[in-house]
Amino acid sequence: AQSVTQLDSQVPVFEEAPVELRCNYSSSVSVYLFWYVQYPNQGLQLLLKYLSGSTLVKGINGFEAEFNKSQTSFHLRKPSVHISDTAEYFCAVSSGGGADGLTFGKGTHLIIQP
Amino acid sequence: DAGVIQSPRHEVTEMGQEVTLRCKPISGHNSLFWYRQTMMRGLELLIYFNNNVPIDDSGMPEDRFSAKMPNASFSTLKIQPSEPRDSAVYFCASSPGVQGNEKLFFGSGTQLSVL
């Protein structure tokens, strides 16, 4: 079985400040890791994903994430946030072997303060 | 492509009534997923299909819930009878392949309120 823990349910940040959204996972097999973003009243959109190779993954809108196998983490970062980054962010894991669905964390609400 | 299309966008019904949610995946996608989102439980996978065949329905909460995919371009999620605790946003998503590394494309969701 696999699971995802997002340690912060809400993160307030001032505009143009850096941000890190934390994600830890557990799985008995190799995993694929994802970050999705959900803007108000919309479905989820993929920000970035880690499948293999370089542990630093760059995504859309200036976000990046680093896979750390020893710490079973996949934290999301952005060096300078904008008001338009206000949204719910979900970390997700999928087992490396097969065609099962994603297991999502409970989400982190990123609040950008002017 | 128009993306994943869900209908209706909003559904308000009374306890005990049957509710049917509909989903049209992106053409050519081989996998379809139904998720439920609530404040308390976050996003939960209810069921997913590969090539129209249900693969894992262990997330379906009770026998009141059923899902079908009669063809590659249409799926339904039915709740009968509905209860207030079923109130949530229900998302449908599709992906091109059948492997766990594929990106999911989500619909805009159906907001269900059971009174």
Q: Indicate the pLDDT class of residue B38, thresholds 50, 70 and 90.
A: very high
Q: Which of B31, B93, B103 sits opposite A99 (nearest CB)?
A: B31
Measured CA distances, A39 to A88, A95, B37, B65 (Å): 6, 26, 14, 28
Query: What are the chain B neighbours of A99 within 8 Å (beta carbons)?
Result: 31, 50, 55, 97-100
Q: Which two tokens stand for residue B48?
A: 């997913």
Q: Which two tokens stand for residue B102?
A: 């594929």
Query: What are the chain B neighbours of A34 within 8 Å (beta carbons)?
Result: 103
pLDDT at residue A25, rounded to an integer: 93
- Whether residue A94 contacts residue A103, with contact meaning beta carbons closer than 8 Å, is answered with yes
**pLDDT above 60 for A76:** yes
Q: Which residue in chain B is spatially nearest to A96 when comparing CA positions? A: B100
Query: What are the chain A neighbours of B108 within 8 Å (beta carbons)?
Result: 41-43
- Whether residue A10 contacts residue A27, with contact meaning beta carbons closer than 8 Å, is answered with no
pLDDT at residue A97, rounded to an integer: 52
Q: Which of B31, B35, B108 sits opposite A42 (nearest CB)?
A: B108
pLDDT at residue A42, rounded to an integer: 86
Mean pLDDT, range B60-68, rounded to an integer = 93
- Whether residue B9 contacts residue B112, with contact meaning beta carbons closer than 8 Å, is answered with no
- Inter-chain Cβ pairs, chain A and chain B, closer than 8 A: 65
Contact A101 B45 (CB under 8 A): yes
Q: Shortest Cα distance from A114 to chain B (angstroms)?
A: 26
Mean pLDDT, range B36-50, rounded to an integer = 91
Q: How many helices (H) and strands (E) does chain B have?
A: 0, 11
